[in-house]
Structure 1
């Protein structure tokens, strides 16, 4: 006798098991229930995110960000949900041979049909998945450190659900009303998102170059979303209009939107610049601004995680911070071939802020060296490259007394000189709040050899990073840094223990003396 298939049961079973269903024989109710339970245990995620599919792991299909991507801090992109056609119901022999003439079509249920709204989550969450609400530092150590986008990263071919960019996608809606609100926020918060007086200029260039460099406007909007997520708990009075417009957007939603925009910007940047020479002057301005805003975004995301740092997960933060420093090296690759063109461009007022401070540092170093040479000795606190002032003098003494190999000592010495230059840059900036210039200067110029040593968690490299935390603490009025410098110093001091207490004594003293 032909079998009658029940719709509700048939639609809940995987397509991969259809052939097994045809071969099934009549069984008892208990055996059938056991079979259903066995199939549910092996249910595959049909509507999982692209990242989980790429990593060949099961996705819990929670939107806007699945649990795996929350833990790994990876961009989570979902394909558009495909509405399955209704399966034709097999009729039993005793049913009439014709269907009712006005019977409406029966749509089979599918997981996540209501998840087009970003704020809603799928109710189905397997117990084996980690709690997405916990900080990612609290999870077990990942098999590989969380990856960050880099300028050397290769992206997969354009997929049907990947956000597009360029003229071939102009027909689609690339920007939403929420993006316009983020744009308004960037314009109205001119002196807050970037260094003083720079945001308006960058936004103006991003809009003007949106046709040939759409990656720049995407990254500007992403940075605006990160700023709004960071400051939404305590909005500035001048941003009342933009804050009220986003009153329904939580910081987590804003950060997710920032990640989506950043992912789209990085992919678009890679496609647009793949065939562009490194010294191409026509695209030098948007490429440089993209690199600068992306570095601020990544630095903000990295330092934001230090607040959730646990001693047992210290290595996770260090690995992530090393990835952040490596990404900053991409800025040097973008800047170097077209630096002189940029200095003669409309960006000249923005670039001279750091250049003028550097010139003042060099002039003072020259005068200090001349005085030391004239007297035949120095006081040990001059600003010359060979004799850094007090901020980093203790670091050189530490390296002199260490038993590290020559190459390791050399790499750490170079990092100390770069850090001292960043301290001097901070002291000679016209901006009383410091802005991001000095902290970014160290991240951009520190050598790759030091980053490798930092990855090994060499204590001397961690002590240097603690001194960098003191620089971040001095720049704490800039929204990206806040109390991140203090958190970095305390975390490193706790990790190293009492044996290295003298080595980190100065950064800890800075926290006591320079507060408020």
Structure 2
């Protein structure tokens, strides 16, 4: 009966609240469910996401559902590997591979945001694992860009392309970060990694402001993880202060999306933890801290 309950939960209003239908960059849940009905590994991952949601929704059964989520995801990955012994993106599997990889990425992020709050160190370790894993999603898009644009997913995949266009961001959310990256005594490679991460982050703030005001949609949270430079991921894994300051600014997007069950209070935890662990860098953290105090920010 547990699988039936998990499937029914996929159709619940609370689970589907992450969908925010009507926005062109949000893939409708109906497409994921349709894919799951046709693809066993996708169905196992959908049920894993449902179990993760129930672990958050029902604290008294948290351990049971989280363990169930882990088991289902492990089985999903096993089925995926069996179905794709040679990892090749084709016209016949590009939709399934993209949707599965995106669900895996969202699941890892959600698990990190809720269950890796014991320490900043543990959170960063888990988060950098998410960043590395999510690079695979951009790889799938790059390998099958033309194929995906000819499918029903095509209209929903514009955000990464828009963010990667080489135009300057117009907002000021990352102004302090630019000053910090330009003035810091760091290697040229580190400076480039920071500047690229800041550039894409500012593009996200700009996209948010132009499309939804202060409200964060899940694709905005997710896409930065997929396109952020690998060199930045390495610097963050080393807990370099500038990398953490940039992460705190990204956490503002998380905080603005705290009304989504996938995110919750993960942004607040991250901002407060980084602020508390970097007393000498607090002047560069004014924007994230101010965002926490501005409870008028949409949820």
For normalisation by structure 2, the TM-score amounts to 0.89
Tell me: CA distance 1:463–1:388, structure 2 relative to 1, closer, same or farther (3 Å): farther
Distance 2:12 2:125 in 1: 36
**Could you say which residue in structure 2 is the equivalent of 1:487?**
269
Distance 1:390 1:432 in 2: 14
**Could you say which residue in structure 2 is the equivalent of 1:263?**
74
Tell me: CA distance 1:430–1:204, structure 2 relative to 1, closer, same or farther (3 Å): farther
Distance 1:179 1:220 in 2: 11
**Could you say which residue in structure 2 is the equivalent of 1:192?**
17
Structure 2 alignment gaps of length 5 or more:
22-26
Of 169, 172, 182, 1:390 maps to 172
**Could you say which residue in structure 1 is the equivalent of 2:227?**
445
**Could you say which residue in structure 1 is the equivalent of 2:157?**
351
**Could you say which residue in structure 2 is the equivalent of 1:12?**
none
**Could you say which residue in structure 1 is the equivalent of 2:145?**
339
Q: Following TM superposition, by how much is the alpha carbon of 1:429 offset from its aligned partner in structure 2, in angstroms?
A: 3.4
Q: Following TM superposition, by how much is the alpha carbon of 1:187 offset from its aligned partner in structure 2, in angstroms?
A: 1.9
**Could you say which residue in structure 2 is the equivalent of 1:512?**
293
Q: Output aligned runs, 1:9-408, within 5 Å.
A: 177-189=1-13, 191-196=16-21, 198-207=28-37, 209-210=38-39, 214-232=40-58, 250-278=61-89, 280-309=90-119, 314-351=120-157, 354=159, 358=162, 385-386=167-168, 388-408=170-190
Distance 1:462 1:306 in 2: 16
**Could you say which residue in structure 2 is the equivalent of 1:417?**
199
CA contact (8 A) 2:214 2:256 kept: no
**Could you say which residue in structure 2 is the equivalent of 1:454?**
236
CA contact (8 A) 1:225 1:255 kept: yes
Q: Which has the larger radius of gyration?
A: 1
Deviations 1:61-104 (A, max 9, x none): xxxxxxxxxxxxxxxxxxxxxxxxxxxxxxxxxxxxxxxxxxxx
Tell me: CA distance 1:276–1:325, structure 2 relative to 1, closer, same or farther (3 Å): closer
Q: Following TM superposition, by how much is the alpha carbon of 1:355 offset from its aligned partner in structure 2, in angstroms?
A: 7.1
Q: Secondary structure at the match of 1:391?
A: coil
Structure with more of its chain in helix, by fraction: 2
CA contact (8 A) 2:18 2:218 kept: no
Tell me: CA distance 1:424–1:453, structure 2 relative to 1, closer, same or farther (3 Å): same
CA RMSD of superposed structures (Å): 2.4
Distance 2:92 2:154 in 1: 16
Structure 1 alignment gaps of length 5 or more:
1-176, 234-248, 363-383
Deviations 1:166-211 (A, max 9, x none): xxxxxxxxxxx2112111110233632545372222102210x23x
CA contact (8 A) 1:426 1:437 kept: no
Q: Secondary structure at the match of 2:151?
A: coil
CA contact (8 A) 1:215 1:269 kept: yes
Distance 1:480 1:342 in 2: 26
**In the alignment, structure 1 residue 502 sits paired with structure 2 residue 293:** no
